[in-house]
Amino acid sequence: MGDNHLDRVLPFLKKIDKKRREQFYTYFKNAPLWLLDSFSIEKMEKGRIFIREGTLVEAIYFIGDGLIKATDYRIYGIKFDFILFTNVYAYGGMEVIMDLDKYQTSLQTVTDCTVLKIPKAQFAKWMKTDILALRHESKLMGEYLLEQARSIRAFLFLQGSDRLVMLFTNRYKKFAVNGVLRLDNDRQELSDYSGLSVKTITRSIQKLEKDGFITKQGSRIVIHKEQYDRMKENLSQILSEDD
């Protein structure tokens, strides 16, 4: 199947950034027509939980445009947002590969999103009949799990402002524009992603600003390239000491 045919089936591809578009082309380059016939495109508003942990797997989702996050509510009943997704993944694909009937985490839109939805039965049939598609999905799943394991191990050693530094450096790598990252100074959101209390977030932001790692501009946090480099170097030294 050519890229032009996929463009016709998924018209949003012409409007998204080149990196994400190429990831779609790679993922579906050998997709059969019967799979494409099962595609549906859905618009999702910001803040929608479209996969809930513990519910039956009924569909596989690919984010065409927008940003989503994974949320875990199991830790002492506290919401913990542990990752923002930017690459093209088959959300629900891991469960299919591992023969799990229920979703293993909750996923929520961070922005308005354009979503490709594939029924579980059709996706499972594709994985069972196309070894190249199965290998590609398994590779992506392994890379994701490895990245998560490394991040979580590192996170365990960090406290307070150092944990926030790791969060900021990860955000910078993914979302900086022209060498500058701008974030809303939302204490509760930063608490959800870091696992720190709102009170600790406030103290940590004050410390990072005082040390020159971040700049406050009104209600936003701004991080320039030189500040990112300093945070990255500082974090590298801390983690190497713990090895």
Residues 180-230: tens digit of each pLDDT: 999 888 888 888 777 788 899 999 999 999 999 999 988 889 999 999 999
Please report which confidence band the pLDDT of residue 78 belongs to, taking 50, 70 and 90 as the band edges.
very low
Is pLDDT at 51 greater than 90 in this prediction?
Answer: yes
Residue 133 has pLDDT above 50, yes or no: yes
- Residue 243 has what pLDDT? 44
Average pLDDT across the chain, whole number: 86
| Confidence check: pLDDT of 37 > 60 | yes
Q: Which whole number is the average pLDDT over 151-167?
A: 77
pLDDT band at 154 (very low <50, low <70, confident <90, very high): low
Residues 6+ apart with CB under 8 A from 121: none
- Output b/e per residue, 99-128; b: 16+ Cβ within 10 A: eeeebebbbbbeeebbbbbbebebbbebbe
Mean pLDDT of 85-114: 90
Q: Does pLDDT of 160 surpass 70?
A: yes
Q: Rounded to whole angstroms, how far apart are CA atoms 114 and 109?
A: 10
Do residues 102 and 52 make contact, with C-beta atoms less than 8 angstroms apart?
A: no
The domain 3-155 is placed in CATH, from the list 2.60.120.280, 3.30.70.2660, 2.60.120.10, 1.10.630.10, at 2.60.120.10
pLDDT of residue 1: 57
Residues 101 and 105: their CA atoms lie apart, in Å, by 13
Mean pLDDT (whole number) for 88-111? 92
How do the domains of the chain map onto residue ranges? 3-155, 158-242
Least confident of 27-36, 76-85, 115-124, 154-163: 76-85
- What is the CATH number assigned to the segment(s) 158-242? 1.10.10.10
pLDDT-based confidence at residue 72 (cuts at 50, 70, 90): low
Of 40-44, 66-70, 93-97, 111-115, the poorest mean pLDDT is in 66-70
Question: Band of the pLDDT at 76, cuts 50, 70, 90?
Answer: very low
| 66, 97 contact by CB (below 8 A) | no
Q: pTM here? A: 0.69
